[in-house]
A and B are shown apart, each in its own frame.
Chain A
Amino acid sequence: MSGRLEAAMRSRIDGGGKCLVPYITGGYPGWMDAVRACAANGADAIEIGIPFSDPVMDGPIIQQASQTALDGGATPVSILHDVRSLDVGIPLAVMCYYNTVFHAGHERFAHDLASAGISAAIVPDLPLEEAGDWCAAADAAGIETVMLAAPTAPDERLPRVAERARGFVYSVGLLGVTGERAALALTATTLAARVKKITTKPVLIGVGVSNAQQAVEASRVADGVIMGASVVRRMIDGGADSVGEFIAEVRHALDGATW
């Protein structure tokens, strides 16, 4: 049974295209307009970050956006409340750290996501061995849990990660935290190729995919990309218009490439 996120990915892939999933930090001033700008300019789904006090997978840009959002009073409850009025017509996923989930309680959090209209969740500090209880609660509430595949994973681990993944498999682009890089790491396409070999689920590369050219390069192997820090930096510097222009540019590059 595939959910809304996976259906959206498959629809793009089946049409011969590549998926584009931008990340926006929830609660940052102007974030809802930034989400709308992503949707209006060719995003296939959007990842909404729920800020956490101790984001160990995030580099300086997303840390800064998270801290600004927290300082402005953003909470998981206020963000999910605002999500209800986002009528963007494409699937939304949340990216949140596990204590946000654990503190609320698995069933309650899954229910809160579903009733806010969220389709999926990405929890980067919840590895396969610890994910069972959350994934069961999420499955029961119709929330797709995207699992991360890491460059350090041995061959025997990847099929288990892919098996547990819903929506798509998040193929981590490099050894390190989120942030823009001058070039796409070699590990990005190497890992995505390994994951593609063992699953029929959509495989997207995220972390360290920083511009349109890198998005195309990554998509030569993967089914698409997740773009975080590059999008959030534009939201911080130029607001929703700047985000919209960037997403349009990446969409154009992905649509113009031949695969």
Chain B
Amino acid sequence: MSILQTPGSDGRFGEFGGRFVPETLVPACQELEHAFSDAWNDPMFRADLDQLLREYAGRPSMVTECHNLGSELGIRLFLKREDLNHTGSHKINNVLGQVLLAKRMGKKRIVAETGAGQHGVASATAAALLGLECKVYMGEVDTERQELNVFRMRLLGAEVEAVTSGSRTLKDAVNEAMRDWVASVETTHYCLGSVMGPHPYPFMVRQFHRVIGDEAFEQMNDVLGTSPDYVVACVGGGSNAMGIFSGFVDTPAQLIGVEPAGGAAVGRGQPGVVHGMKSYLMQDEYGQVSEAHSISAGLDYPGVGPEHSYLASIGRAQYPTVTDDEVIAAFQLMARSEGIIPALECAHAMAWISREAPNMQGKTVLMNLSGRGDKDVGQMMSILGDVI
């Protein structure tokens, strides 16, 4: 039996998950749960989705062995190249699934939250392709550090609203998207961007991303004849990590989800409830949600998807942290050694691998390169401009 769970109607992964939403949204979550289940079991829907993933997103994504970095670090390092997908990250897998589903449900409009802008861009892209109206909520702080992605979304026909409440980052964008959905639920689908939120989102989004792990399992088997010793991914809400973990959770591979030191929901958190789910959460002594701090907007999230909390609680996956300085070094290391500029989010995974390589000599390591770093070049130029 797989460690990957199919939650029942209570939406639980162990003690985590659930559906902590206002009464107004309960029927919509139930409708979505049933619609997803029907669609996922409908060969026509799956064929439509597979075709989009293949012909539009460019799947399957390849696996690249990093010979230079590998010999430098004394390991065999493989990258799952989600950065080569259309729109430049893994986010397109989930978004194509959800927008196709929204259309099947007769919705005319989607709303989405975004941190770094990757999910917002992917949502705007899928909405443009499939003919739905799209509104994206983005924290004001993030619209400033990712202004190119804001423009990209507008080019794609989406409306972008800068969120000025709270910490003005990803968690506040989620709040605002939920407020929109409470008011628009009859015509609108909330296209949530990670394995978080109320049931069925954590389960549904993981199912849409498991293509990453399922492909990688076969690809690694072709290369190594077995699974790798380590599977490493960065974790904000945790969608790219859940995607790749899905393929290896029932193998002997060690699963490593790397959190930013300033956003260590699993590492520092206690169980809490926000954004519709019970999961590990950074919070103060009264249960007020803390603000996460990370160099990468996409990981600036104080919570984590409930299935990660479950995997951590049973000891199946580990969730170490890396610092911003380690991330900046890893970002440059990958660029110079391999000619690949990673998204700052993925540079967290690289930073952990680079730091822990002395303890992994001769081992095989698969890292999910979940996005490309073009969006981060401006930010890194302001940090490194005088140094390089």
Residues of B within 8 A of A130 (CB): 18-20
- Of A16-24, A86-94, A148-156, A210-218, the segment with at least 4 beta carbons within 8 Å of chain B is A148-156
Q: Which residues of B contact A172 (CB under 8 A)?
A: 23-24
Chain B CB within 8 A of A72 CB = no
- Tell which of B23, B175, B183, B288 touches A127, judged by Cβ atoms closer than 8 Å: B23
Contact with B along A88-104 (1 / 0, CB 8 A): 00000000001110111
Q: Choose from A76, A126, A154 the contact partner of B286 (Cβ within 8 Å).
A: A76
With A and B bound together, what is the CA distance between A149 and B24 in angstroms?
Answer: 8
User: Quick check: is B339 within 8 A (CB to CB) of the other chain?
Assistant: no
* Contacts A54-B166, A102-B273, A177-B182; A125 near B21 (Cβ below 8 A): yes
Name the residue of chain B whose CB is nearest to the CB of A78.
Answer: B286
Query: Does A189 sit at the interface, judged by CB under 8 A?
Result: no
Q: Is A237 an interface residue (CB 8 A)?
A: no
Determine whether B385 belongs to the interface, using a CB cutoff of 8 Å to chain A.
Answer: no
Known: A103-B272, A175-B182. A53 touches B19 (CB 8 A): no
A176 lies within 8 A of chain B by Cβ: yes
Q: When the two chains form their complex, are residues B20 and A125 in contact, meaning their CB atoms are under 8 A apart?
A: yes
Judging by beta carbons under 8 Å apart, are B286 and A127 in contact?
Answer: no
Name the interface residues of A49-95: CB closer than 8 Å to any CB of B.
52-57, 59, 63, 67, 70, 75-77
Residues of B within 8 A of A149 (CB): 23
- A139-151 interface code vs B (CB 8 A; 1 in, 0 out): 0000000011111
Sorting the interface of chain B by its residue count into under 10, 10 to 19, 20 to 34 or 35 or more gives: 35 or more
8 Å CB interface, B6-20 against A: 10, 18-20
Is A129 in contact with B19, judged by CB distance below 8 angstroms? yes
Known: A76-B286, A175-B182. A102 touches B272 (CB 8 A): yes
Determine whether the beta carbon of B24 is less than 8 Å from that of A175. Answer: yes
Question: How does the 8 Å CB contact mask read for B268-281 relative to A, with 1 for contact and 0 for none?
Answer: 00111111101001
Partner of B185, one of A56, A129, A152: A152
When the two chains form their complex, are residues B22 and A127 in contact, meaning their CB atoms are under 8 A apart?
yes
Q: Are the C-beta atoms of B20 and A63 separated by less than 8 Å?
A: no
B165 near A63 (CB under 8 angstroms)? yes
* Distance, CA A103 to CA B288, complexed state (A): 9
B150-187 at interface with A (beta carbon < 8 Å):
165-166, 171-172, 175, 178-179, 182-186
Q: Which residue of B lies closest to A152 (CB)?
A: B27
In the bound complex, how far is the Cα of B274 from the Cα of A103, in angstroms?
11
- Chain A: interface size category: 35 or more
Residue B26 is within 8 A (CB to CB) of chain A in the complex = yes
Task: Report the nearest A residue to B27, measured CB to CB.
Answer: A152
Min CB distance, A246 to chain B, in Å?
Answer: 25
A148 and B23: CB pair below 8 A? Answer: yes
A67 vs B165: C-alpha distance in the bound complex, in angstroms? Answer: 9
- Decide if B289 is an interface residue (CB 8 Å cutoff): yes
State the CA gap A67–B185 with chains docked (Å): 27
Output the residue of A149, A152, A154 with the most chain B CB within 10 A.
A152
A8 within 8 A of B: no
Q: Does B89 reach chain A (CB closer than 8 Å)?
A: no
B309 within 8 Å of A (CB atoms)? no
Question: What residue in chain B is nearest A170 (Cβ atoms)?
Answer: B23
> Is the CB–CB distance between B20 and A175 below 8 Å?
no
Q: How far is the CA of A55 from the CA of B174 in the complex (A)?
A: 11
B197 to chain A, nearest CB (A): 11
Does B283 reach chain A (CB closer than 8 Å)? yes
Interface code B38-53, partner A: CB below 8 Å = 1, 0 otherwise? 0000000000000000
Max chain A C-beta neighbours (<10 A), residue from B25, B179, B184, B278: B179
In-complex Cβ contact of B288 among A56, A70, A98, A161 (8 A): A70
Task: Kindly supply a per-residue 1/0 record for chain A positions 149-169, scoring 1 wherever the CB is within 8 Å of any chain B CB and 0 otherwise.
Answer: 111111001000100000000
Q: CA–CA, A87 to B146, complex, Å?
A: 52
Which of A103, A127, A128, A177 is in CB contact (< 8 Å) with B287?
A103
A52, A102, A148: the one contacting B22 at CB < 8 Å is A148
CA distance A16 to B24 in the complex (A): 31
**CB of A117 within 8 A of chain B?**
no
Q: Is A3 an interface residue (CB 8 A)?
A: no
B183 to chain A: closest residue by CB: A176
Choice from B18, B275, B288 contacting A52 with Cβ under 8 Å: B288
> A53-B288, A102-B273, A102-B278 provided; 12 other pairs, C-beta below 8 A?
A53-B166, A54-B172, A54-B289, A57-B22, A127-B19, A127-B21, A127-B22, A127-B23, A130-B19, A152-B186, A153-B23, A177-B179
Q: List 5 A-B pairs, minimum CB-CB distance, nearest first.
A: A103-B287, A176-B183, A150-B23, A150-B24, A53-B288
30 A-B contact pairs sorted by A residue (CB < 8 Å): A53-B166, A54-B175, A56-B179, A56-B275, A57-B22, A59-B179, A67-B166, A75-B286, A98-B273, A99-B272, A99-B273, A99-B274, A99-B281, A100-B286, A102-B273, A103-B270, A103-B272, A125-B273, A126-B20, A127-B20, A127-B21, A127-B26, A129-B19, A130-B18, A130-B20, A149-B23, A150-B22, A150-B27, A152-B23, A153-B26
